[in-house]
Chain A
Amino acid sequence: MKTELKTLLPQLRRFAFSLTGSAQDADDLVQNTIERLLNHPPEPHVTLLHWCFRVCRNVWIDEYRSRKVRQASSDEPELQEASTDGEATMLAQIQLTQLQKAMSRLPDEQIEVLSLVAVQGCSYAEAAQILALPAGTIMSRLARARNALLQSVRLSEGSYGV
């Protein structure tokens, strides 16, 4: 299973980063997730990636969410390095910073749905299975999360009239 986990590591780290908003907290979360996975491997019929997401989300809720770690992420220097590669890159960096702040204000239950569907590309049914929620709840939480982000992040010129 270690070999499989290694191949899934980039996705798991991205997922953890989406949840925590902090590279350091994300790696701590992944570390704890992997330790838990190695101690309690999934049944053979379970999709390992989905199981990883589920365990990661549970660890996040159990051990990280209460610490409000995401609020510290805006101070994280390694993800705040301003690029000097031109205006477009600067704009992208500003957008990412705005997005980070906007995500830190979202309710946790919206962040986890966003992370699974919009970032990881899970279907609503898959996200519902991972989070043990009805698919309808996934759909409504996702829409609310996307709308909240659109209110907070300045998109490209013109901003589509939103």
Chain B
Amino acid sequence: MKITDEMLSAFLDAELPESQMQMIREALHQDEQLSGRLAALAEMDLLLKQHASQMDHQVVPEKLMALLDEPTQDNLVSFPLWRRITALQPWSGAAAACLAVVAGYSLALWQAEDPWAEISLALETQAAGVSYPLTGASRLTPHLTFMDKQGRYCRQYQVSSSDEISQQLACRSAQGWTLEAMVNGAAQDNSGYQTATGSVVLDPVIDRMISGQVVSLSAEQQLIRQQWVTTSDGEQP
């Protein structure tokens, strides 16, 4: 039987019936040209794999990773939106209703009439890792502090109650603390929403904002003592 290129190609892929596989094996022992041709086919396959693997050295585009990243954009509150809402009617029932729709969770965490005043005070005075009681059996725990690219100090913190956890990020300007990002979820993963139990959910936001390193605990305590003013003439260091 003549061994065609098609058969040799299929032999390389082990796709021939066993009788033909055996026939070609025997022919390869005797026919140098045939074994040379098979080696060339095998080398070509190797080259094809090398060619395709060039893609492994290309950085995956951010927009592609964003498609596969959790949490989805659906439950990460967009802060231009947040700012628009707060600018119009800070902490009104209407604003709260909008945010509930956007974030897909209830607002039981926000039982105080002006929760932001409480949160601002906690951010102003509490060191990382220290839990601070809020109205309605909620607690705020700062996690880390960093300076953003606009020169503002920002703090990532957690607000939690018995059934909800909110990971938030706020930055300090001359007007006080402003919420920049927030991801919410149920304290237990039975809600169908992303459970915001870990501070890492805001890492992509922090990565985009941070300038330099995270502020050390000792530097953070110093900032709190100095009421977040590090120069004699203003807010920014």
Residue from B5, B10, B48 within 8 A of A114 (CB atoms)? B48
User: What sequence of 0s and 1s flags, for each residue 119-162 of chain A, a beta carbon within 8 Å of any chain B beta carbon?
Assistant: 10001100000000000000110110011011001011001111
Per-residue CB contact flags for chain A residues 11-34 toward chain B (1 = under 8 Å, else 0) read 001111110000100110011001
CA distance A9 to B58 in the complex (A): 12
Q: What residues of A have a CB within 8 angstroms of the CB of B68 in the complex?
A: 2, 5-6, 9, 34
- Inter-subunit contact B52/A18 (CB<8 Å): yes
Cβ of B63 within 8 Å of any chain A Cβ, yes or no, is yes
Partner pick for B61 among A27, A79, A146, CB 8 A cutoff:
A27
B67 in complex: contacting residue of A14, A34, A92, A100, CB < 8 Å: A34
Task: Give the docked Cα–Cα distance between A9 and B61 (Å).
Answer: 12
- Indicate if A96 sits at the interface (CB-CB under 8 A): yes
Task: Answer whether residue B50 sits at the interface, using C-beta atoms and an 8 A cutoff.
Answer: yes
For B48, what are the chain A residues with a Cβ–Cβ distance below 8 Å? 18, 99, 114, 118-119, 149
Chain A interface residue count, Cβ-Cβ cutoff 8 angstroms: 49
Is A44 an interface position by the 8 A CB rule?
A: no
Check A15 against B52 for contact (C-beta < 8 Å).
Answer: yes
How close is A96's CB to chain B, nearest CB, in angstroms?
A: 5
Q: Within 8 Å of chain A (Cβ to Cβ): is B1?
A: no
We find that the number of chain B residues with CB closer than 8 angstroms to chain A is 36
As a 0/1 sequence over residues 216 to 231 of chain B, the CB contacts with chain A under 8 angstroms (1 = contact) are 0000000000000000
Q: How many contacts A-B (CB < 8 Å)?
A: 119
Does A95 reach chain B (CB closer than 8 Å)? yes
Contact of B56 among A14, A38, A124 (CB under 8 A): A14
* B64 at the A interface (CB under 8 A): yes
B51 engages A31 (CB within 8 Å): no
**Residue in B49, B51, B60, B63 whose beta carbon sits within 8 Å of that of A100 in the complex:** B51
Chain A contact surface mostly: helix
Contacting residues of chain B (9-29) with chain A, CB-CB under 8 angstroms: 9-10, 13, 15
With both beta carbons as reference points, the residue of chain A lying nearest to B70 in the complex is identified as A2
* Bound-state Cα–Cα, A9 to B36, Å: 36
What B residues does A161 contact at CB under 8 A? 33, 36-37
Inter-subunit contact B9/A99 (CB<8 Å): no
Given that A123-B15, A153-B47 are known contacts, is A147 also in contact with B5, CB under 8 Å in the complex? yes
- Which residues of B line the A interface, CB within 8 A? 4-6, 8-10, 13, 15, 33, 36-37, 39-41, 43-45, 47-56, 58, 60-61, 63-64, 67-70
